[in-house]
Amino acid sequence: MPDWFSKSIVDEKTTMLTEPFVHDYVRANIWHLRGRDVDLLVDTGMGICPLAPEIETPHGKQLLVVATHIHLDHVGSLHEFPLRAGPRMSAAQFESMDEAATYAYMFHDLDGAVSKLPAPGWRAADYRIPSAPLTRTLDEGDVVDLGDRQFRVLYLPGHSPDSIALFDEADGLFFSGDAIYDDTLIDDLPDSDRTAYRRTMQRLLDIPIRIGHGGHGPSFDGKRMREIATAYLERTGAG
> How do 211-214 and 173-177 pair as beta strands?
parallel
| 31 touches 16 (CB < 8 A) | yes
- Asked if the structure places residue 196 within a domain, the reply is yes
Alpha helices in 116-221 (DSSP H): 194-204
Q: Distance between CA atoms of 145 and 38, rounded to whole angstroms?
A: 8
- Report pLDDT digits (tens) over 158-204: 999 999 999 999 999 999 999 999 999 999 999 999 999 999 999 99
pTM over 0.85: yes
- Report pLDDT digits (tens) over 55-95: 999 888 999 999 999 999 999 999 999 999 999 999 999 99
Range of the domain at 80: 6-236
- Asked if the structure places residue 217 within a domain, the reply is yes
- Asked if the structure places residue 1 within a domain, the reply is no
How many structural domains comprise the chain?
1
Determine what percent of the chain is predicted with pLDDT higher than 70: 98
- Asked if the structure places residue 59 within a domain, the reply is yes
